[in-house]
């Protein structure tokens, strides 16, 4: 179980850094009046995949009884669950597949928001 804990911890650092880069890239593209392209959508899918793997590892830790290590377990789970559904919600419900410059702005800012959510989730873990 120590390996799962280590991977979960290291993956959390990867996720917040990935979403920071993705958000800056998205806003940069939006400033340049570009729309959403396949490269950016592919990066979003990779980011969502990282959140899914993180959620699966967190579920394993929860079932294994290692959740008490977290200072505020309810908030930690809430941040994780929100991160899993937020990006698909934004793309499928809010944008409805819009790949214009407006869509790029929304996705760039949404990924920066997910960067903040990842940092908040990390902040619930006791050192």
Q: What is the pTM of this model?
A: 0.92
Q: What is the pLDDT of residues 104-123, one digit of tens each?
A: 999 999 999 999 999 999 98
CA torsion through residues 126, 45, 18, 20, sign? negative
Q: What is the pLDDT of residues 61-118, one digit of tens each?
A: 989 887 767 888 889 899 999 999 999 999 999 999 899 999 999 999 999 999 999 9
pLDDT of residue 127: 66
Residues 6+ apart with CB under 8 A from 36: 98, 99, 100, 103, 104, 107
Q: What is the pLDDT of residues 24-38, one digit of tens each?
A: 999 999 999 999 999
């Amino acid at each position: 179980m120590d390996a799962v804990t280590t991977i979960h911890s290291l993956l959390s650092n990867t996720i917040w850094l990935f979403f920071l880069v993705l958000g800056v890239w998205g806003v940069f593209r939006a400033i340049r009046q570009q729309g959403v392209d396949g490269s950016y959508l592919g990066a979003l899918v990779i980011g969502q995949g990282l959140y899914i793997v993180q959620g699966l590892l967190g579920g394993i830790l929860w079932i294994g009884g290692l959740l008490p290590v977290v200072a505020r377990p309810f908030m930690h789970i809430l941040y994780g669950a929100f991160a899993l559904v937020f990006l698909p919600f934004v793309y499928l419900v809010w944008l409805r597949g819009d790949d214009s410059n407006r869509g790029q702005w929304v996705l760039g800012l949404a990924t920066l928001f997910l960067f903040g959510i990842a940092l908040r989730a990390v902040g619930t873990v006791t050192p």
